[in-house]
């Protein structure tokens, strides 16, 4: 497969590698990041591009980015109108990236920029996605570490696609994958799941995740919880199906209890007045209600998957030209 860099028409000279850096209040980290990232990229290709996406920072992050841009024309930036969240910032980055390969890295130096050399070499060795998988992490409190572990394993159980464990958004992708991701129109982005969903050939590189260089994490517990909900609802219908399972089980148990109530009505003289009719109607209604909710859930599940409006497939390679 050829990897000749090709710039989209009208967008200036070709770029071999774009590195997207989402930025939310990263003022104390940006110079340090640039000092490590720039030489790494220059060694990979002279035609690199560093694309900062400012996600509504309220500190002086953009002043630093603009200064870097003035020093180095390979530093580009996109400033969002407010804080939209990490995943949306990444989408904006993918939309503006021009590289024939595109990498994503955090601004806080938790992802070592030097690893990009190895990741890029692997990508060019014949993969379309090379993601960095954490061997260890120094960044989180024990509670957060456990929460992450549980979440990744739960998601792996619930979804049909193989989302690699302990992997964030630190990764490098071929242009084909970037175009596939951009063709996914869903509003609730969960990039790690989407990259797994689009397919293509994936490989991992292991690393030890560092602690934050400086500043406070922009991911609060609330944002993490919302991300987890997006991940599960975008890639699993299991929670929707729960009502059907529960409805079937409850109806079955209710049926047994109805039989029991009727039997005791006819054969047990000590059944209190009204107990049987009450039991029968409550159990019957309960079972029917849960089953109906389950049926509605099944339809909503289908609506949800249609509403995502995802493309049906992506082509990795072909020697046939598509009919116009
Ligand atoms: N970030 C962002 N928007 C947000 C929160 C975070 O663009 O609303 C960026 C942040 O600047 C950093 C990356 O996303 O480059 C990861 O954020 P953070 O370090 O807070 O996440 P954690 O490392 O705790 O998962
Ligand atoms: Mg971080």
Euclidean distance between the first and the last CA atom of the chain, given in angstroms as a whole number: 24
Residues 225 and 257 in one domain: no
Q: Is residue 160 part of a domain?
A: yes
Residues 20 and 111 in one domain: yes
Q: Is residue 297 part of a domain?
A: yes
Residue 85 Cβ < 6 Å to ligand 1: yes
pLDDT grade for 285, boundaries at 50, 70 and 90: confident
What mean pLDDT comes out for the span 260-277?
79
Residue 106 Cβ < 6 Å to ligand 1: yes
Residues 228 and 255 in one domain: no
Residues 283 and 211 in one domain: no
Q: Is residue 2 part of a domain?
A: no
Residue 19 Cβ < 6 Å to ligand 1: no
- Supply angle C-alpha 14, 18, 20, rounded to 5: 150
**How high is the pLDDT of residue 65?**
93
Of the candidates 167, 159, 149, the one whose C-alpha atom is nearest the C-alpha of residue 203 is 167
Residue 112 Cβ < 6 Å to ligand 1: no
Atom 21 of ligand 1: nearest residue by CA position: 219
C-alpha of residue 108 to centroid of ligand 1, in Å: 8
Tens digits of residue pLDDT in 32-67: 999 999 999 999 999 999 999 999 999 999 999 999
Q: How many domains does the chain have?
A: 2
**How high is the pLDDT of residue 1?**
42
Task: Give the structural domain span for 77.
Answer: 15-236+312-318
Q: Is residue 215 part of a domain?
A: yes
Q: Is residue 152 part of a domain?
A: yes
Tens digits of residue pLDDT in 172-200: 999 999 999 998 887 778 888 889 888 89
C-alpha of residue 252 to centroid of ligand 2, in Å: 49
Tens digits of residue pLDDT in 75-120: 999 999 888 889 989 999 999 999 999 999 999 998 899 999 999 9
Torsion sign over Cα 8, 13, 18, 22: negative
252: left (phi over 0), alpha (psi -120 to 50) or beta: alpha
Centre a 10 Å sphere on the Cβ of residue 222 and count the other Cβ atoms it contains.
8
Q: Is residue 35 part of a domain?
A: yes
Q: Is residue 323 part of a domain?
A: no
The CATH number of residue 206's host domain is 3.90.550.10
């Amino acid at each position: 497969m050829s990897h000749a860099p090709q710039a989209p028409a009208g967008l200036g000279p070709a770029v071999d590698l774009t590195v997207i850096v989402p930025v939310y209040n990263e003022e104390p980290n940006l110079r340090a990041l640039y000092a490590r990232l720039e030489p790494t990229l220059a060694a990979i290709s002279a035609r690199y591009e560093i694309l900062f996406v400012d996600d509504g920072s309220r500190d002086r992050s953009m002043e630093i980015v603009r200064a870097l841009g003035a020093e180095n024309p390979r530093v580009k930036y996109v400033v969002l109108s407010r804080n939209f969240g990490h995943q949306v910032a990444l989408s904006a980055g993918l939309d503006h990236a021009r590289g024939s390969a595109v990498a994503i890295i955090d601004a806080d130096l938790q992802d070592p920029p030097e690893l990009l050399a190895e990741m890029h070499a692997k990508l060019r060795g014949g993969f379309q996605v090379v993601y960095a998988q954490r061997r260890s992490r120094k960044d989180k409190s024990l509670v957060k570490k456990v929460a992450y572990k549980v979440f990744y394993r739960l998601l792996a159980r619930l979804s049909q696609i193989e989302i690699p464990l302990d992997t964030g958004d630190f990764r490098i992708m071929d242009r084909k994958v970037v175009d596939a991701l951009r063709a996914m129109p869903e509003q609730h982005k969960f990039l790690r799941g989407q990259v797994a969903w689009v397919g293509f050939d994936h490989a991992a590189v292991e690393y030890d995740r560092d602690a934050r260089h400086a500043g406070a994490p922009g991911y609060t517990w609330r944002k993490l919880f919302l991300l987890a909900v997006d991940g599960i609802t975008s890639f699993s219908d299991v929670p929707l199906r729960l009502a059907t399972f529960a409805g079937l089980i409850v109806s079955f148990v209710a049926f047994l209890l109805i039989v029991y109530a009727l039997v005791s009505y006819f054969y047990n003289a000590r059944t209190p007045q009204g107990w049987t009719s009450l039991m029968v109607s409550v159990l019957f209604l309960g079972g029917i209600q849960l089953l109906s909710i389950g049926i509605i859930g099944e339809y909503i599940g289908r609506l949800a998957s249609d509403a995502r409006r995802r493309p049906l497939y992506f082509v990795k390679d072909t020697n046939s030209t598509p009919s116009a």
